[in-house]
Structure 1
């Protein structure tokens, strides 16, 4: 069953249950209210009747009792209110219909008339043993006056009112159900559209995925799906670009190796040219080996968990070893490296020491490649985070290259494989850190690494 039908069915069942329970509750509450109102009316009638009888009505001749020297007033039977008069001993003196008072003498009811009262005895009505009547008793000097009215009259009124209420409830319920269909359709529509967009993702048509506008949690899911499709599209593009760049980077040294090897074999190169050809083959082989090693490491960092082994690493020792490793290259290029972390209190990082060292070497060697005369390594602590900044006085990073600087095979003018900074980013992120690149206001590139740090006492 479709979700829209499930929601509508659930709402319809819930609506029927609510209306049914409400109808039952209203039935009993309304009946109770009407009975209470009728009792109040009977009490008022009884009090008024008692006062009138005490002031002195014209007595009537009753055949029911010789002591009964008074009569019960007679009125129109349209109000369905009747009276029973008993003496102090409980004997019934008379039974009379009553609704409005009359000063005219009234004839007492006959035995036959008494027998016709709703097929129940007058005594059972007065005693309250029957539940078919509403009764009110009032003591008078001559005995007890009991007024009663059939419960069926109240039930008829209550049923008439309840029918009207049920008609109103039914109409309101129908309107609510139709409104729920509209609301459900409006809520389900984004889900249906979202399902179609997910189908595009399944078919790997990431670029065709559209953003579905919706509110609440559905809107959040729609945004997540759209962002996921965008990221998958970017990843798919990067993968294709990666294979293209990788094939190009691998093909260049292979062509050199193959060309010189074939030339040496066929005797094209002789004497010193053979030696130069062999040197080129060795250099290109080393370059090819380095490229394959970096590609393998990058793949492992992305896919393998056990390749990364974390431990406590002293930041100062790590930076010092980085500088020592880079000294030969610095001396060769005549570049001065300035360090600004000696006064920093001891800091410990949670990372894979060897791989983090490689990440720093990649960043510093990139700075050496573009620096003119100076490189600066600065470390600072801010809110339990340590920030390492490596900057140079070179030309800086081109603005169009900044968003893609850490992507694979993305390299500047004098870059090598284009994998060094991509490897650095993978290592830094696996250490729980973040790496960013930018340009100094006065010129030169700056790469910052941000890590959570533990200060040592």
Structure 2
């Protein structure tokens, strides 16, 4: 079953349940209210009748036969209300409404009428046992006055009111159901479009994925899908470019090795040329080995977790070792490296010491390649983060190259494999840090490495 049908079915069932429960509650509440109102009316009538009976008792004090029906003026049409007056022994004195009669002459007739009404039923009504009547009792000078009215009259009124309310509820329910169909369609439509876009991702058509406009959580998911498709498209493009560049970078030394090897084998090179050819083969082999090693390391950093072992590393010791490793190259090129600490306390990083050392060597060697006379390694603490800035006095990084500097096989004019800074980026990010490249105010490249640090007193 489709999601839209599931939502509409669930809403329909919930709506029926709510309306049913509401109808039942209203039925009992309305019935209870009408019964209460009717009892209040009966109590008011009983108070008036009791006052009249007291007047009859006072004015006809010496009269043997007292006409109590005068004090109980209920006609047959008076809201279906009837009254029973009994003496203190429980004997019925009069019933209203009833034919006019006197105690002397009509007493037997009245009692006959009462008998026809069914004295046992009247007794049940008077005692409150008959639940089909609403009764109210009031003590009078004569005994007890009981007013009663049929419950069926209240039920008829209640059913009529409830019927009208149910019609209103049903109409409102139909309107709400139609509205829910419209709203559900409005909500489901972005999901259907989102499903189509995900099918494009499944078919690896990342560039064809469109952004689905929607609100709320669906909009957030749609944006995530769109961003994911863009990232996958970029990754796919980078992978293709990686293989193309790797093929080109590997092909060049292989062609040199193969050319010189075939020339030596076929006797094309003789004497000193043979030694020169062998030197080229050795040089290109070393270059090829370095390139393969860097590509393998980069692949492992991207995919393998166990290739990176994190431990506590002293930053000052790591920088000292970096300078010592780079010192022969610095002397050879006549470049001075200056390490500047802004009163930094001993700092500990969580990192793989060998991998982080390699990242620093790649960054510093890149600076050595383009520096004229000086390289500065500046260490500072900012907001519990250690910032290492490696700057040089060289020509700087071209603006069009800056966004892609840390991508694979992207290299400047005098670059080698184009993998050194990509490896540095992968290592720094695995250490929980960030790497950024830019140009200084006075020229020269500036590469910044930012790490969360543990400071020691």
TM range (shorter): over 0.9
2:151 aligned partner: 151
1:447 aligned partner: 447
CA–CA separation in structure 2 for the residues paired with 1:352 and 1:77 = 102
Residue 77 of structure 1 aligns to a residue whose secondary structure is coil
Note closer, same or farther for the CA distance 1:73–1:395 as it changes in structure 2 (3 Å cut): same
1:441 to partner: Cα distance: 2.0
Residue 378 of structure 1 aligns to a residue whose secondary structure is strand
Residue 68 of structure 2 aligns to a residue whose secondary structure is coil
* TM-score between the two structures when normalised by the length of structure 2: 0.93
1:88 to partner: Cα distance: 2.0
Matched, 1:283 2:283: yes
2:170 aligned partner: 170
Note closer, same or farther for the CA distance 1:140–1:423 as it changes in structure 2 (3 Å cut): same
1:425 aligned partner: 425
Which whole-Å deviations, capped at 9, do the CAs of 1:6-51 have from their partners, x for residues lacking one? 1111111111111111111111110010000001111111112222
Note closer, same or farther for the CA distance 1:400–1:97 as it changes in structure 2 (3 Å cut): farther
1:437 to partner: Cα distance: 0.9
Match runs of 1:103-182 below 5 Å: 110-111=110-111, 113-114=113-114, 121-182=121-182
1:29 aligned partner: 29
Note closer, same or farther for the CA distance 1:343–1:127 as it changes in structure 2 (3 Å cut): closer
2:331 aligned partner: 331
CA–CA separation in structure 1 for the residues paired with 2:118 and 2:171 = 38
CA–CA separation in structure 2 for the residues paired with 1:38 and 1:124 = 20
* TM-score between the two structures when normalised by the length of structure 1: 0.93
Note closer, same or farther for the CA distance 1:410–1:17 as it changes in structure 2 (3 Å cut): same
1:57 to partner: Cα distance: 9.5
Q: For structure 1, which runs of at least 5 residues remain unmatched after alignment?
A: 61-65
1:229 aligned partner: 229
Match runs of 1:15-414 below 5 Å: 15-56=15-56, 68-71=66-69, 72-97=72-97, 110-111=110-111, 113-114=113-114, 121-341=121-341, 343-414=343-414
CA–CA separation in structure 2 for the residues paired with 1:41 and 1:317 = 99
1:426 to partner: Cα distance: 0.8
Note closer, same or farther for the CA distance 1:141–1:389 as it changes in structure 2 (3 Å cut): same
Note closer, same or farther for the CA distance 1:206–1:105 as it changes in structure 2 (3 Å cut): farther
Note closer, same or farther for the CA distance 1:105–1:50 as it changes in structure 2 (3 Å cut): farther
8 Å contact kept, 2:86–2:145? yes
Residue 96 of structure 2 aligns to a residue whose secondary structure is strand
CA–CA separation in structure 2 for the residues paired with 1:241 and 1:120 = 105
Residue 423 of structure 1 aligns to a residue whose secondary structure is helix
Q: For structure 2, which runs of at least 5 residues remain unmatched after alignment?
A: none
Count of matched residue positions in the alignment of Structure 1 and Structure 2: 449
Which whole-Å deviations, capped at 9, do the CAs of 1:252-298 have from their partners, x for residues lacking one? 11111111111222222222222222211111111111101101111
1:321 to partner: Cα distance: 0.7
1:232 to partner: Cα distance: 0.7
CA–CA separation in structure 2 for the residues paired with 1:236 and 1:80 = 89
1:436 to partner: Cα distance: 1.0
CA–CA separation in structure 2 for the residues paired with 1:268 and 1:274 = 9
Residue 144 of structure 2 aligns to a residue whose secondary structure is strand
Residue 322 of structure 1 aligns to a residue whose secondary structure is helix
CA–CA separation in structure 2 for the residues paired with 1:387 and 1:401 = 23
CA–CA separation in structure 1 for the residues paired with 2:302 and 2:356 = 15
Which whole-Å deviations, capped at 9, do the CAs of 1:105-130 have from their partners, x for residues lacking one? 99888456445659972111111111
CA–CA separation in structure 1 for the residues paired with 2:280 and 2:288 = 12
* Deviates further, 115-124 or 321-330: 115-124
CA–CA separation in structure 1 for the residues paired with 2:117 and 2:322 = 114
Note closer, same or farther for the CA distance 1:159–1:339 as it changes in structure 2 (3 Å cut): same
8 Å contact kept, 1:115–1:121? no
Which whole-Å deviations, capped at 9, do the CAs of 1:123-178 have from their partners, x for residues lacking one? 11111111111111122212222111000000110011011111111111111111
